[in-house]
A and B are shown apart, each in its own frame.
Chain A
Amino acid sequence: MLSCDKATILVEKKIDTGLTLIEKLKLTFHTGMCSGCSNYQKHSVFIHNAMSANVNRALQTVNFVVPQLKASILEKLKL
């Protein structure tokens, strides 16, 4: 049986390029028996989806920085 070490690498490969049939079978068999890796797979996919979402979120108020930044840019470009 696959080790968890190898299984988690296969998870990353799966997300990236997909797996060969044999790899798929091995991984499915392993995650069917190993809750740690089954959870890891879900979490890794979640993180993958979260980072792919690519949504711009304003986390901080930019009010202080931006006016000064604009002035600085205009100055640098001699506009």
Chain B
Amino acid sequence: MDNIQTTIRSWVESFTDSLYDRALYKTDNEEVAKDLVQETFLAAFESFGSYKGNSNPKTWLMSILNHKIIDHYRMQYKNPIGKEFNSDPHFFDDEGMWQVERRPSVWDCDLSLLDDRDFIVTLKRCMAKLPTKWLSILQLKYLSEKGGEEVCQELNIAPTNYWQMMRRAKMNLRECLEKNWFKH
């Protein structure tokens, strides 16, 4: 139908910018981001019938994109490729207490740091260093804005396993941030 095509064409013109921006921020990978935006418009085209017309098209497209991003990380979690740690760096000694050199120091941090472009770059770099599986679970949790319980159900893992993985992800992320930002 001519109407749909005209509409979608105008959406591509108006919203590719924002969609790509978000996809790139969330995946940190140009090629993946492009693919996801493309898939989003394709999905919008195919399921145009379910678009009510009374909601903001950008909102609708963004929600499709979000689902695509989540699916992407779900796939990455289940089929991790690339770097994996063979063994966790030892944060704790035999008694389960912090090794002296790995003990977290005091940070001067508050959320206004999120407005600091350089900090965001550092954060993204540290995230990129994480093994795929851990980064995926971090992203899954925060992208979907779901509780950990839902993430567990989706990935079919036990809550304790989930907390352990979140801890590992955060421990490494934390240490990277400390080395590259807070103690720099």
Query: A residues engaging B (CB < 8 A)?
Result: 3-6, 8-9, 11-13, 16-17, 34-37, 39-40, 42-44, 46-47, 49-60, 62, 65-66, 69-70, 72-74, 76-77, 79
Residues on A with C-beta less than 8 A from B173 are 47
Residues on B with C-beta less than 8 A from A16 are 147-148, 159, 162-163, 166
Query: B residues engaging A (CB < 8 A)?
Result: 5, 8-9, 12-13, 16-18, 20-22, 24-25, 30, 34, 37-38, 41-42, 45, 92, 95-98, 103-107, 109, 111, 113-114, 117, 120-121, 123-124, 138, 141-142, 145, 147-149, 159-160, 162-164, 166-167, 170-171, 173-174, 177-178
Q: Which of A4, A35, A53, A74 contacts B114 (CB 8 A)?
A: A53
Structural contact, A51 and B98, CB atoms closer than 8 A: no
A47 to B95, CA, bound (A): 27
Structural contact, B163 and A9, CB atoms closer than 8 A: yes
Closest Cβ of chain A: how far from B96's Cβ, in Å? 3
A19 to B16, CA, bound (A): 43
Closest Cβ of chain B: how far from A61's Cβ, in Å? 10
Secondary structure of the A contact surface, majority rule: helix
Q: Which of A13, A58, A60, A73 contacts B38 (CB 8 A)?
A: A73
A74 to B159, CA, bound (A): 44
Structural contact, B167 and A9, CB atoms closer than 8 A: yes
Given A66-B17, A76-B42, A77-B8, does the pair A43, B104 have CB atoms closer than 8 Å? yes
Given A59-B117, A59-B121, A69-B37, does the pair A5, B9 have CB atoms closer than 8 Å? no
Residues on B with C-beta less than 8 A from A42 are 107, 109
Q: Which of B12, B21, B117 contacts A73 (CB 8 A)?
A: B12
**Which B-chain residue is minimally distant from A76 (CB atoms)?**
B38
A54 to B114, CA, bound (A): 10
Residues on A with C-beta less than 8 A from B167 are 8-9, 11-12
A37 to B58, CA, bound (A): 43
Structural contact, A3 and B114, CB atoms closer than 8 A: no
Using A39-B104, A50-B111 as known contacts, list a sample of 14 further A-B pairs with CB atoms less than 8 Å apart, ordered by residue number in A: A3-B92, A4-B97, A5-B92, A13-B163, A17-B149, A43-B104, A47-B174, A56-B18, A60-B24, A66-B17, A69-B37, A72-B38, A74-B9, A79-B5
